[in-house]
Amino acid sequence: MSNFIRWTARLLGVAAIASAPQFVGAQEARLLAIRDDATRDFVRQFVEAARVRGTPTEPLVSRALEGVAFKADRKRIEQAMAALEKRLRRSRDLLGAKATADEVAAGADALAADVPAGMIQEMKKLAPQRQITVELGVLTELVAKGISPKVAAERIKELMARGATGAQLTELNAAVQQDVALGIKPVAALELRGRGVMSLLPPPASVNSAQRR
């Protein structure tokens, strides 16, 4: 499953209901796909312990099922889940206690893509009163296309500072993906498409202030 599919699903609210009883029941039903009893019991216990710690559990369940689909042994599944939970907990620390489950999961994906923790914090500071799931998802996708985390994060931050909406950033990401598929270098595609979005945004506040004087 691609990162794009993961964060798009989260945007639709899949992980946001992770604490609801019916959602827990749905997770349990999904775990029945794990045929090995020992592995299934381990995953169930790991997920429940993570839930008690306040860690979003849907990404952990998905990671376990991915491991099973790829015929990974129990040890590898355990290692993958432990590494993911570590990133999820780090993501929550960076985004704050009020961060939603889907936002935390998107931050964990960004960390897995080697986005520096400081950049995730800086992005959150630009939008402290709302979740930045889309922004983090777009960032992760851009990095996956070969753009350095620093370059991608700086562009996203610049657009956020100018008031770019989630829809505009999603369209930016789609356009970059299309350009890359046509053979354009990822960084060049981001620069081109980023300028296009920037041209649609109001000037910085400092410019507006200067013009009113």
Element counts in the chain: helices (H) and strands (E): 12, 0
| pLDDT of the chain, 213 residues: tens digit per residue | 455 445 444 444 444 344 455 557 788 788 888 888 999 999 999 999 999 999 999 999 999 999 999 999 999 999 999 999 999 999 999 999 999 999 999 999 999 999 999 999 999 999 999 999 999 999 999 999 999 999 999 999 999 999 999 999 999 999 999 999 999 999 999 999 999 999 999 987 654 444 444
DSSP secondary structure, 101-117, as one string: HHHHHHHHHHHHTT--H
pLDDT of residue 21: 56
What is the phi-psi region of residue 114: left when phi exceeds 0, alpha when psi lies from -120 to 50, beta otherwise?
Answer: left
Phi, psi of 204, deg, nearest 5? -55, 155
| Interatomic CA distance for residues 123 and 202, integer angstroms | 19
Each domain of the chain, given as residue ranges in start order, spans 3-212
Residue 3, pLDDT score: 52
Q: What is the pLDDT of residue 32?
A: 86
Report the pLDDT value the prediction gives residue 28, as an integer from 0 to 100: 79
Distance between CA 191 and CA 155 in Å, rounded? Answer: 8
